[in-house]
Amino acid sequence: MLMKNSSVLLARALLRGLLIIVPIYLAILLLLKGLKSLTGLVRPIAVLLPSWFPGEIALSVLLLIIICIVVGAVVRTRTGQAARERLEKAFFERIPGYGLLRSLTQQVAGEGRENVWKPAFAEMADALVMAFVIEELDDGRYTIFIPSIPTPFSGAVYVIDRARVHPVDVPFTQVVKVISKWGSGAKNLVAAMEREASLSR
């Protein structure tokens, strides 16, 4: 029985690790591939720089940053948003972990939807646990994600009564920081929840 439980725990840990590592690994590979592709474009300019200066690498990184800025500005336009949505549906949403990374990136950038990944406390048994509100169901219940400690991007999903969920008006990154520090700083989140509860009375 002990062996079986250990195998299940190891399998779950492996799966959680893969869901985090694989998208990051793929993103790094794409970044390196992009830099390698840009090296040929910047080489004619890089040869004009001093030999001690890593011109090709520096110019490739600079060009990649400029491209990201331009793309970021374009996708904020109506045409750019439509093109991005079509591209995401046709290709990117099929990549494992892309939807999660996109949602988290939007939250970190302060551009996520208000009701997605909203920090909250959920009542579980006799305790409060840190959670994120993912969506609201038609009957008023919440779908919440309860992260694991100290890895905030793996955990469990619950559908729970609205009355047992207490949203907290704090930045998404603040909650992630508390989770990654094994709960250190949670008192500030509790204080924020209690302030909101007193104002709503």
The predicted model gives 2-12 an average pLDDT of 65
Weakest-pLDDT range from 64-73, 99-108, 112-121, 151-160: 99-108
Pair 184, 138: CB distance under 8 Å: no
Which residue type is seen at 171? P
Task: Name the residue with higher pLDDT: 175 or 161.
Answer: 161
Cβ pair 87, 159 in contact under 8 A = no
Q: What does the pLDDT look like over 60-95, one tens digit per residue? A: 888 888 888 888 788 778 887 777 777 766 666 566
Largest CA distance in the chain: 69
Q: Which residue type sits at 68? A: C
Q: Decide: pTM greater than 0.85.
A: no
CA distance 176 to 171: 9
Cβ density class 116-126: b for 16+ within 10 Å, e for less: ebbbbbbeeee
**Angstrom distance (rounded) from CA 75 to CA 96:** 22
CA dist., res. 109 & res. 93, Å (int)? 20
pLDDT digits (tens, 9 = 90+) for 12-69: 666 666 666 766 777 777 777 877 887 877 888 877 778 788 878 888 888 888 888 8
Q: Decide if 120 contacts 189 (C-beta within 8 A).
A: no
Q: Give the type of residue at 64.
A: L
Higher pLDDT pick, 81 / 127: 127
Instruction: Quick: pLDDT tens for 109-125.
Output: 555 554 568 888 999 88
Per-residue confidence (pLDDT) for residue 201, from 0 to 100: 62
- The arithmetic mean of pLDDT across residues 133-155, rounded, is 84
